[in-house]
Amino acid sequence: MSTQTPVQTDSDAGRGIAPTAPRPSAARGQGRPAAAFLTPFVVLYLLFIIGPALYGLVLSFTDASLVKPGLNGGAGFGNYAEALGSSDFWSSLWHTLWFTILTTPPLVILGFLLALLANRVARGRWFFRLAFFAPYILPSAVVALIWMWLYTPALGLLDTTLAKVGMTAPSWLGDAAWAMPSLAITTVWWTLGFNFILYLAGLQEIPRDLYEAAAMDGAGPWQQIRSITIPMLGRTTTLVAVLQVIASLKVFDQMYLMTSGGPNFATRSILQLVYDEGFTNYRVGYAAAVSMLFFLVVLAVSAVWFTLVRRQEKVV
Amino acid sequence: MANTTLDAGVTMERINQREKLFNRICAGVLIAFALLWLIPLLWAVDTAIKPNAETTRTTWLIDNPTLDAFTRTLRDTDMWSWYGASFIISSLAALGTVLVASMAAFALSRMRFRYKNVVFWAILAGIMIPGQVLIVPWFREFDALRLLNTYWAVILPQLPAAIAVFIFKQFFDGLPRDLEEAARMDGASFFRVYRRIVLPLARPAVAAVAIFTFVTTWNDLLWPLLVLSNPDLMTVPVGLATVQGAFGIRYADTMASAILGAIPLVAVFLLFQRQIVQGIAGSGLKG
């Protein structure tokens, strides 16, 4: 995107008044219209992203409370020390990671496999898109209502279906060991369509003649997938995996709606800890510190992504 | 020579047959998964059209389907008010985001000014900051601005979406410039070029950003839950979250409320399926 402009600039400058571009005369005066076009976004950006981010950083070093105005005195690194020494913080961080571990592999692999299958089927693609993608567009509250009904002990569709084939269902959301996998199943159902679409788009960009050439050389479908499709989709996979990890780390709705972080806090995510400490216990300073620690985790994931993409771009 | 052509023909035939069989297996597996994915939705509809007393009979067939659960839910909850709030908030968020992001992107794509790269990277860095980590300072900020329990508290933080600027800039960079350069020669202002030439050409990007902002704002739960405690202002997800326990064992009513909550977005999906799919495919937006 930046390769075109410098070339044009040079030729414009060389020719003086270029017939195709009014730039030389306007160049000096573009600061003012640029400012006018940028101001609405930049003001909102400073007010609602950068400002709050810095304010949150300040709050994390104070004893600020929700029910008292002002900063309520400095706390130094007290909030951070407390968080890092608190079992609540580590357990909710672990729950968040556990949820990420349970959701990311199936969402990436299933998204890839189903897109691969859909790409081979010529007819009825709209139907598959509808089936896999429709859940993604639903509000989390709707998804939660539907799945809580499916998980209802003894009466829900899952329990009655399993009973018909002679199996006893676990207490899906009520059992501390099963609650997180149950939330993960719901999440896979809910968000798979997003990865499905990304992979389908990636698949359609692979030139057809690659497959035709491979088929002429006698490569079967399986060989074609292994030696053409998977390597060609490397960048898509990086993108899907990182977006998925970040989205899973930010989990809140499913737990809040379906288990309230229970049973016995077994599914409380890091964002719910922020919610509980900040808005139920009114400990704004401490909640801000936990937010900052969470932000560091997300930043680390993004940094890993950048390195991966850089490396892939060098190779390709 | 004739022999080798024949051989090649036979091999191709075999490959084609193998391919056909393989494709058929693919289709079978895919259809099985698609049906599996549709079951929860179909079961929700099936439950909602049963009388409450019969929802625990786990049969798909219904002797006496009824829409009572829907009329009851519309009567007993504030569904219409939730629709209204969600619609106003999401529309304004979509409109505002498109406007401020496309203007900023236009400046970054078409104008030359000092510190342009600094501005661009400073905006791009915003993609890294998830809104979820800002809820604590936001709450204090909107409290200080006296905007808690207003639609503005939900709309304003949505507007400066760095990802939207990035999408618009990429799109603008790819547009041909002959037309606007001719217009500039004729003395058209930057605003006129933006309004009359670039924005109409960028309709796919406008549609993608608008639809995505609309859907993510509509579905947002955490932040609206914190700032909209007044029942008259609640959005659909917040409203559903607050009444979800109230239905008890009236499963038909519960499913009816879920379906009513889903209908507007299902409509958006059916109307804009192509733009949504292309939007995701082109940029990898995720909330």
Give the CA radius of gyration of chain B.
Answer: 26
Q: How far apart are alpha carbons A212 and A228 in whole angstroms?
A: 11
* Measured torsion, CA atoms of residues A52, A53, A55, A58, in degrees rounded to the nearest 10: 170
Q: What is the ipTM of this complex?
A: 0.88
User: Would you place residue A46 in the very low, low, confident or very high pLDDT band (cuts 50, 70, 90)?
Assistant: very high
**pLDDT, tens digit, 9 for 90 and up, residues A168-216:** 888 899 998 999 999 999 999 999 999 999 998 888 888 888 888 888 8
For residue B219, the one-letter residue type is N
| CATH for the stretch B78-283 | 1.10.3720.10
Residue found under tokens 């029942």: B231
Nearest residue of chain A to residue B240 (CA atoms):
A141
Q: What is the DSSP string of B89-146?
A: HHHHHHHHHHHHHHHHHHHHHH---TTHHHHHHHHHHGGGS-GGGGHHHHHHHHHHTT
Domain parsing of chain A, residue ranges: 87-315
- The pLDDT, as a whole number, for residue B61 is 77
Task: Tell if the CB–CB gap between B26 and A121 is shorter than 8 Å.
Answer: yes
What is the token pair recorded at B231?
A: 């029942």
Distance from CA of B85 to the nearest CA of A (A): 15
The closest of A9, A251, A11, A215 to B16, measured between CA atoms, is: A215
B27 touches chain A (CB under 8 A): yes
Per-residue burial over A87-124, b if 16 or more Cβ lie within 10 Å, else e, is eebebbbebbbbbbebbbeebbebbbbbbbbbbbbeee
Q: How far apart are alpha carbons A81 and A197 in whole angstroms?
A: 43
Distance from CA of A40 to the nearest CA of B (A): 6
Q: What is the DSSP string of A191-230?
A: HHHHHHHHHHHHHHTS-HHHHHHHHHTT--HHHHIIIIIH
Nearest residue of chain B to residue A18 (CA atoms):
B185
Q: How far apart are alpha carbons A95 and A101 in whole angstroms?
A: 10
The fold for domain A87-315 equals: MetI-like fold (1.10.3720)
Q: What is the DSSP string of chain B?
A: -HHHHHHHHHHHHHHHHHHHHHHHHHHHHHHHHHHHHHHHHHHHHHHHTS-GGGTTS--S--SS---HHHHHHHHHS-HHHHHHHHHHHHHHHHHHHHHHHHHHHHHHHH---TTHHHHHHHHHHGGGS-GGGGHHHHHHHHHHTT-TTSHHHHHGGGS--HHHHHHHHHHHHTS--HHHHHHHHTT--HHHHIIIIIHHHTHHHHHHHHHHHHHHHHH--HHHHHH--SGGG--HHHHHHHHTTTTTT-HHHHHHHHHHHHHHHHHHHHHHHHHHHHHHHHH----
Task: Tell if the CB–CB gap between A45 and B255 is shorter than 8 Å.
Answer: no
Q: How far apart are alpha carbons A284 and B137 in whole angstroms?
A: 8
Per-residue burial over A268-298, b if 16 or more Cβ lie within 10 Å, else e, is bbbbbbbbbbbbeeebbbbbbbbbbbbbeeb
User: Would you place residue B15 in the very low, low, confident or very high pLDDT band (cuts 50, 70, 90)?
Assistant: low
Residues A309 and A235 sit within 8 Å (Cβ to Cβ): yes
**pLDDT, tens digit, 9 for 90 and up, residues B252-265:** 899 999 999 999 99
Q: How far apart are alpha carbons A164 and B59 in whole angstroms?
A: 12
In the three-class reduction of DSSP (H, G, I as helix; E, B as strand; rest coil), residue A231 is classed as helix
- The pLDDT, as a whole number, for residue A10 is 39
pTM: 0.87
Task: Identify all chain B residues contacting A145, using CB atoms and an 8 Å cutoff.
Answer: 44, 240, 244, 254-255, 257-258, 261
- The pLDDT, as a whole number, for residue B11 is 67
Residues A190 and A135 sit within 8 Å (Cβ to Cβ): yes
Q: How far apart are alpha carbons A52 and A46 in whole angstroms?
A: 8
Note if the bond before A263 is cis, omega within 30 degrees: yes
Classify residue A19 by burial, with Cβ atoms within 10 Å: 0-12, 13-18, 19+: exposed
Domain parsing of chain B, residue ranges: 2-68, 78-283
Q: How far apart are alpha carbons B115 and B172 in whole angstroms?
A: 20
- The pLDDT, as a whole number, for residue A26 is 45
- The pLDDT, as a whole number, for residue A155 is 85
Nearest residue of chain B to residue A305 (CA atoms):
B128
User: Would you place residue A306 in the very low, low, confident or very high pLDDT band (cuts 50, 70, 90)?
Assistant: confident
Residue B205 predicted with pLDDT over 50: yes
Task: Identify all chain A residues contacting B236, using CB atoms and an 8 Å cutoff.
Answer: 139, 141
Mutate: best of A7, A9, A37, A233, partner B, most B CBs <10 A: A37
Task: Tell if the CB–CB gap between A37 and B104 is shorter than 8 Å.
Answer: yes
B100 touches chain A (CB under 8 A): yes
Task: Identify all chain A residues contacting B218, using CB atoms and an 8 Å cutoff.
Answer: 139
Per-residue burial over B106-127, b if 16 or more Cβ lie within 10 Å, else e, is bbbbbbebeebeebbeebeebe
B191 touches chain A (CB under 8 A): yes
- The pLDDT, as a whole number, for residue B12 is 66
Residue B286 predicted with pLDDT over 70: no
Task: Please name the residues in contact with A122: beta carbons below 8 A apart, sequence gap of 6 or more.
Answer: none
The minimal CB distance from B37 to the residues A55, A132, A247 is found for A132
- The pLDDT, as a whole number, for residue A20 is 47
- The per-residue pLDDT of chain A, averaged, comes to 86
Residue B211 predicted with pLDDT over 50: yes
- The pLDDT, as a whole number, for residue A6 is 39
B23 touches chain A (CB under 8 A): yes
Classify residue B14 by burial, with Cβ atoms within 10 Å: 0-12, 13-18, 19+: exposed
Angstrom distances, CA of residue A243 to CA of A106, A191, A200, B47, B131: 14, 12, 16, 35, 15
User: Would you place residue B248 in the very low, low, confident or very high pLDDT band (cuts 50, 70, 90)?
Assistant: confident
Mutate: best of B16, B120, B136, B254, partner A, most A CBs <10 A: B136
Task: Please name the residues in contact with B253: beta carbons below 8 A apart, sequence gap of 6 or more.
Answer: B52, B69, B72, B73, B76, B247
**pLDDT, tens digit, 9 for 90 and up, residues B222-242:** 999 999 999 999 999 999 998
